[in-house]
Structure 1
Amino acid sequence: MFSMELTDEVLKSMEVGMAFRDYNGRISSMDFHRATSYLVTASDDESIRLYDVQNAMCLKTINSKKYGVDLVCFTDNPMTVIYSSKNGWDESLRHLSLNDNKYLRYFKGHHDRVVSLSLCPRTEFFVSGSLDRTVLLWDQRTEKSQGLLRVQRRPAVSYDDQGMVFAIAYGGYIRMFDARHYEKGPFDVFSVGGDVSDANVLKFSPDGRLMLLTTTDGFIHVVDSFRGTVISTYSVKPVSSNATLEASFSPDGMFIVSGSGDGSVCAFSVRTGKIACWGSTDTEPPLIKWAPGNLMFTTGSSELSFWVPDLSKLGSFAGMK
């Protein structure tokens, strides 16, 4: 066994090592479980699929024909997920057991599509943001929301890795909340430099020091999560209002891989900027998730692709330890 350090060269060498092409619609959401090798996907073909990434196997497919499925996230338990609907008539979130395809709980409260969902690590809490211009706070153990925050635009929400803080982005600002005292309002508000287009995705880096925010205008802002300073802004092709521009930090927090409005995949170094771009025949931005602690990321479009370094492109093996 060897471990390889992630460098510009290693990232440039990444290519699709394997793909699952048996989807009958676009993948709308993906999530890695933080402690296992499991990946879950949601797709427009109304399926939820569970993969064992280590063994490159699809373990099970569950259909949600009645409600559709849009966003999906693992709970701490790798066999249960929380997911949002896509049918346009029931905006409840659902807590689903993948073992026996049973609903454990419904979370009712939103009146329009849920566009952002983040589960708190280490606790039972989660937060959801909707086009109804509310952000709701939930406890997995009870059906009623625990708190409501009103927003002026489409919100993007995210818990930090410690579960102490959550952030809400909209209208060119990121608002920081203490998870225990959110009702007091944000303890800090950070500007992202005049980009007032709709927020798409908000994420903390694995060490919690940075945040990334993507917007429909095709910008990826990297912000210091303590000081609020914008460290860098990258741009890709803008996305249509019904698509989502997704980006993901590498496990060391030093690189970002992003989709683009023209369907391509782009990689950036947080320090130095753009490193690589991989073209695509697709015309919509792919979803992107980096596998925790691994030299691999996945992209989701009308197929699920696993990207790994191509060692033959790396002339020297200096990166191996």
Structure 2
Amino acid sequence: MDDLPRPPSTPSTPSTHTHRTPPDSDLVPRSPLTDTLVSSFDLAAVHRSHSKPVACLDFSSDGSLLASSSPDGVVAVYAALQGKHKATIPVHKYGAGVLRFVHGASTPAVVAASTSRDDKLRLLDIESERYVRYFTGHEATVTSVSASPAGPGFISASQDAWIRVWDVRQDVARGKVKASGCPVVAYDPKGLIFSIAYNAPNWKTLVKLYDARQYEEGPFLEFQLDNPSNSVPSCLKYSSDGEYFLLVNADANANVDVFDAYKGKSYRRFSGHRNVSGIPLEASFSPDSAYVATGSDDGSLFAWNLESERLVLEKKQVHALPTACTLWNPYYQMMSTSCQNVVFWLTSPQDSSSEY
């Protein structure tokens, strides 16, 4: 199996501007957020690890690591709790588009979708900086990946309109599900259900829910959602409590739609950000399921209270390019966003004695 090229013995350190670096002890896992805290989010660290816009961001399940991919042919890894760059891993041969941390590996690892040469997925070990497994089956570019919270599995969706179900310990898919167009996929927070979304006829988006243990039997629930612009779904995610899912289309209307996960009924629509060019913009739930954040094509960042619908955070044009990736840390009061740079956001100190 091909090893990744090794970085030089004395690599240059990526340019980084850090406002504050929180001690680990100041970041309390699963601590509740409030409007006041969310409105206080501010830049904590800016990393210039990439020479082209970032394609994907992902936190490890414990929130300690962040990985970023880019068409520049590198995967960058960050120690999230310290806000520091950890490694730059060259992947020029195959590229890396969508990437996700996976469970079940003996050391931290991400599944990365190829962007050149072939349409395989590859398991990249972070510590050794080597590919340890190839996943073969897709016949077009993989555009969506979701790792199972329940174990060493993940699902992938491709422009070939197939969803494939994988175990990280095997290089051949366990099974597959036919969709249409270019679907997006997501596991629920327990890993018992996975959902797919794709364009359907008659200006609809079709969302299908599958039992992850019996997906061969077909979906147990389907929702048809209005899609008046007939735009392509680009982001599908569940809240951590499993009550809701959000759906974002690559659409100039720039909406983040939140639905009841059990009934498919529209619950909230958040707007006000820009997406004039209709590019894929990521949205994300906070770890307590109480807030939703997204970026904007003018480089801004927005966050809303899910229950009250109140806009509680608006950071205008903090990125020079579109804020394509917006991600809450799954465990801590932290966010990360990216254009070409990768930014860590932390809540501001609430009193003069705090070192957070």
* Higher mean C-alpha displacement, 193-202 vs 117-126: 193-202
**In the TM superposition, what whole-angstrom CA distance separates every residue of 1:6-34 from its partner, at most 9, and x where no partner exists?**
22222122111111123211111111111
* Map 1:248-287 → 2, pairs under 5 A: 248-273=284-309, 274-280=311-317, 282-287=320-325
Q: 1:209 is matched by which residue type in structure 2?
A: E
Give the 3 Å change call, closer, same or farther, for CA 192–141 of structure 1 in structure 2.
Answer: same
Hey, what does 1:307 align to over in structure 2? 345
Hey, what does 2:126 align to over in structure 1? 98
Q: Look up the SS of the partner of 1:11 in the other structure.
A: helix
Hey, what does 2:95 align to over in structure 1? 68
Q: In the alignment, which of 159, 174, 178 is matched to residue 146 of structure 1? A: 174
Q: 1:108 is matched by which residue type in structure 2?
A: T
Give the 3 Å change call, closer, same or farther, for CA 91–239 of structure 1 in structure 2.
Answer: farther
* Map 1:1-321 → 2, pairs under 5 A: 5-35=32-62, 37-76=64-103, 77=105, 78-87=107-116, 89-171=117-199, 172-195=205-228, 196-217=230-251, 218-235=254-271, 236-238=273-275, 240=277, 243-273=279-309, 274-280=311-317, 282-311=320-349
Contact 1:192-1:221 within 8 A present in 2 as well: no
1:240 is displaced (CA, Å) by 4.0
Q: CA RMSD in A?
A: 2.2
Give the 3 Å change call, closer, same or farther, for CA 175–8 of structure 1 in structure 2.
Answer: same
Provide the C-alpha distance between the structure 2 equivalents of 1:231 and 1:302, rounded to a whole number of angstroms: 33
Percent sequence identity over aligned pairs: 30
Contact 2:164-2:177 within 8 A present in 1 as well: yes
Provide the C-alpha distance between the structure 2 equivalents of 1:229 and 1:127, rounded to a whole number of angstroms: 25
1:119 is displaced (CA, Å) by 0.9
Give the 3 Å change call, closer, same or farther, for CA 125–2 of structure 1 in structure 2.
Answer: closer
Give the 3 Å change call, closer, same or farther, for CA 286–65 of structure 1 in structure 2.
Answer: same
1:5 is displaced (CA, Å) by 4.1
**In the TM superposition, what whole-angstrom CA distance separates every residue of 1:35-71 from its partner, at most 9, and x where no partner exists?**
2511111122211122111122222111001011111
5+ long unaligned stretches in structure 1: none
Q: Look up the SS of the partner of 1:152 in the other structure.
A: coil
Provide the C-alpha distance between the structure 2 equivalents of 1:239 and 1:163, rounded to a whole number of angstroms: 35
Q: TM-score, normalised by structure 2?
A: 0.82
Q: Look up the SS of the partner of 2:119 in the other structure.
A: coil
**In the TM superposition, what whole-angstrom CA distance separates every residue of 1:182-219 from its partner, at most 9, and x where no partner exists?**
11211111233335421011111111111111111222
Contact 1:62-1:101 within 8 A present in 2 as well: yes
1:175 is displaced (CA, Å) by 0.8
Contact 1:239-1:260 within 8 A present in 2 as well: no
Aligned length: 314
Provide the C-alpha distance between the structure 2 equivalents of 1:165 and 1:212, rounded to a whole number of angstroms: 15
Provide the C-alpha distance between the structure 1 equivalents of 2:145 and 2:76, rounded to a whole number of angstroms: 18
